[in-house]
């Protein structure tokens, strides 16, 4: 059984007991969250597709940790123009553990 949920402007395919990195959520570590934006639920041969969300479906997750991803280097350079700019970025994330999929 798996589901497709929407969070942080993205869609994620989730399975029970899976770890999932999503954009930062303002919650405490150890807290349980319920996502109601379920776009699709698949249970064996049964497929429920929402219009746009599946009525009555939800996904329960537990917040494992908050953190920052790997550094991404942004480099801009124009040759022969004395222009060189370097910048770094580390995106915040929340690590979730999928507890249950309720269809």
Phi, psi of 19 (to 5 degrees): -95, 135
Rg over CA atoms, the chain: 19
Look at residue 57 and tell me whether its pLDDT is greater than 90: yes
Query: The tokens 């919650």 sit on which residue?
Result: 27
Q: What percent of the chain has pLDDT over 90?
A: 99
Residues forming beta bridges with residue 10, ordered by sequence position: 7
pLDDT at 79: 97
State pLDDT tens for residues 67-95. 999 999 999 999 999 999 999 999 999 99
Closest CA to 31 of 6, 5, 8, 61: 61
Tokens coding 84: 């060189």
Distance CA 51, CA 7 (A): 17
pTM of the model as a whole: 0.86
Tokens coding 13: 């395919």
Look at residue 103 and tell me whether its pLDDT is greater than 90: no
pLDDT at 38: 96
């Amino acid at each position: 059984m798996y589901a497709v949920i929407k969070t942080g402007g993205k869609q994620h395919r989730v399975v029970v007991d899976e770890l999932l990195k999503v954009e930062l959520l303002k919650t405490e570590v150890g807290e349980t969250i319920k996502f109601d934006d379920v776009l699709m639920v698949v249970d064996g041969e049964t497929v429920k597709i929402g219009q746009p969300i599946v009525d009555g479906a939800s996904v329960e997750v537990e917040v494992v940790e908050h953190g920052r991803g790997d550094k991404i280097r942004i480099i801009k350079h124009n040759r022969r123009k004395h222009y060189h700019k370097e910048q770094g970025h580390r995106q915040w994330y929340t690590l979730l553990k999928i507890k249950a999929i309720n269809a």
